[in-house]
Copies of this chain bind each other. A is one copy, B any other.
Amino acid sequence: MSKTKKNSSALSEKDGIDAPPNLNKQSAERLKKNRQKKRTTQDLIHGILAGDKTALSRGITLIESTAAKHQENAKQLIEACLPHANRSVRIGITGVPGVGKSTFIEQFGSLLVSEEKKVAVLAVDPSSSLSHGSILGDKTRMEALVKEDNAFIRPSASGESLGGVARKTREAIILCEAAGFDIIIIETVGVGQSETAVHSMTDFFLLLKLAGAGDELQGIKRGIMEMADAIVINKADGDNIKAAKLAKTEFNRALHLYPAKASNWTPKTLTCSALTNEGISDVWELIQSYLNSTKDSGYFSEKRREQNKFWLLQTIESELKQSFYSNPIIKKELKTQLELINTNKTSPFEAANYLLSLS
């Protein structure tokens, strides 16, 4: 029985994470322990670089930990993995619940594995912080894929803020890449802002849709449509085939209303059935043709550089805001100033200057 099975959401002492300090311990023992801790982080690094899925899983748990005492180990781990990262293709997949994401990813992942690829599936789902990983909670999900040696499936990172979740996912990608995974699939539920986060950490963004009755575009988030490199209409099987084809036409028409992308790639619409496995290989062919065209043009690397810059600036800016607004004096005065603004006693600009002068 492996350690991760025994305790999958917390790291045991042997995993390099020590228990709360016991004041009765001798310093000699503590020293020994520190050495041990160092050795186990090294073990984790070696395990990940050797492609060991148990080590990868433990590594992700370590970077997901919010405990201050794990931060240094996590940092070491990421630094050791970074030189081996950046070599995969990162595919973002989004779609509302019920669209058949799991079945699609199971089929799609199995196809990739059959082509000798190593496939990692990560999920971004900030809302699951409530249900803590419910997205993969049911064991029936991706049953076949999960058994494959060359597949790694990780439940969604949970966290209080999307920024936190996004950071953990970005770092999990680094670990997966260092463990030799070729294709990283980042899955998200198409209901929140997480799509933008996923879009900004992937090379190709796929929107999974269903054919519905009537107006296909009703209620769709324009932002998501605009980000998509492909729209795949799932469940195009049985009685649904005709509706799926109609939906394809309508989405194609809608996609043409959008301005050309920086990638010079024209987003495509496909139909597929994850149930009958029809059209799944077409999706992979489409992605490959995207990869060829953007790698040739240099856009692929350019986009990754842009994404790095985005995350750097994003982290800085959210940290600047965070440290400003969490200041207790600001918290209190912000309320007062808002009231003064709303009663025409000050302007938003004067109030801002005043608040900034307090920090």
Q: Does A20 contact B (CB under 8 A)?
A: no
Q: Closest residue to A177 on the B side, CB-wise?
A: B344
State whether A352 touches B85 (Cβ < 8 A): no
Q: Does A135 contact B (CB under 8 A)?
A: no
Q: Does A300 contact B (CB under 8 A)?
A: no
State whether A86 touches B171 (Cβ < 8 A): no
Say which one of A6-14, A104-112, A124-132, A316-324 lies at the interface with B: A316-324
Say which one of A26-34, A76-84, A276-284, A286-294 lies at the interface with B: A76-84
Q: Does A140 contact B (CB under 8 A)?
A: no
State whether B352 touches A319 (Cβ < 8 A): yes
Q: Does A238 contact B (CB under 8 A)?
A: no
Q: Does A139 contact B (CB under 8 A)?
A: no
State whether A82 touches B349 (Cβ < 8 A): no
State whether A316 and B356 are in contact (beta carbons under 8 Å apart), knowing that A257-B218, A308-B348, A350-B78 are contacts in the complex: yes
- Contact residues on A (Cβ < 8 Å of other chain), bracket: 35 or more
State whether A316 touches B355 (Cβ < 8 A): yes
Write out the residue numbers on chain B whose beta carbons fall within 8 Å of the beta carbon of A21: none
Say which one of A47-55, A263-271, A334-342 lies at the interface with B: A334-342
Complex Cα–Cα for A348 and B78 (A)? 11
Query: Which A residues from 303 to 339 make CB contacts under 8 A with B?
Result: 305, 308-309, 311-312, 314-317, 319-321, 324, 337-338
Interface string of A248-262 (1 = CB under 8 A from B): 000000000111000
Q: State the majority secondary structure of interface residues on A.
A: helix
State whether B257 touches A348 (Cβ < 8 A): no
Write out the residue numbers on chain B whose beta carbons fall within 8 Å of the beta carbon of A259: 219
State whether B75 touches A348 (Cβ < 8 A): no
Write out the residue numbers on chain B whose beta carbons fall within 8 Å of the beta carbon of A217: 257
State whether B170 touches A348 (Cβ < 8 A): yes
Q: Closest residue to A217 on the B side, CB-wise?
A: B257
State whether A78 touches B347 (Cβ < 8 A): yes
Q: State which of B86, B220, B316, B338 has its C-beta within 8 Å of the C-beta of A312.
A: B338
State whether A86 and B226 are in contact (beta carbons under 8 Å apart), knowing that A316-B352, A324-B320, A352-B319 are contacts in the complex: no
State whether A352 and B219 are in contact (beta carbons under 8 Å apart), knowing that A85-B344, A347-B174 are contacts in the complex: no
Q: Shortest beta-carbon distance, A318 to chain B, in Å?
A: 9
Q: Which of A's residues lie within 8 Å of B, judged by CB?
A: 75, 78-79, 82-83, 85-86, 167, 170-171, 174, 215, 217-220, 222, 226, 257-259, 305, 308-309, 311-312, 314-317, 319-321, 324, 337-338, 341-342, 344-353, 355-356
- 16 A-B pairs with CB atoms under 8 Å apart are A86-B344, A167-B349, A219-B259, A220-B257, A222-B222, A222-B226, A308-B338, A308-B342, A312-B337, A312-B338, A312-B348, A312-B352, A312-B355, A315-B348, A315-B349, A319-B352
- 7 residue pairs, one from A and one from B, having the closest CB atoms: A315-B352, A311-B348, A312-B348, A308-B341, A320-B320, A82-B344, A316-B352
Beyond contacts A86-B344, A312-B352, A316-B355: 14 other A-B pairs, Cβ-Cβ < 8 A, are: A78-B347, A78-B350, A82-B345, A82-B347, A167-B349, A170-B347, A170-B349, A220-B257, A305-B342, A308-B342, A314-B348, A316-B324, A317-B321, A320-B356
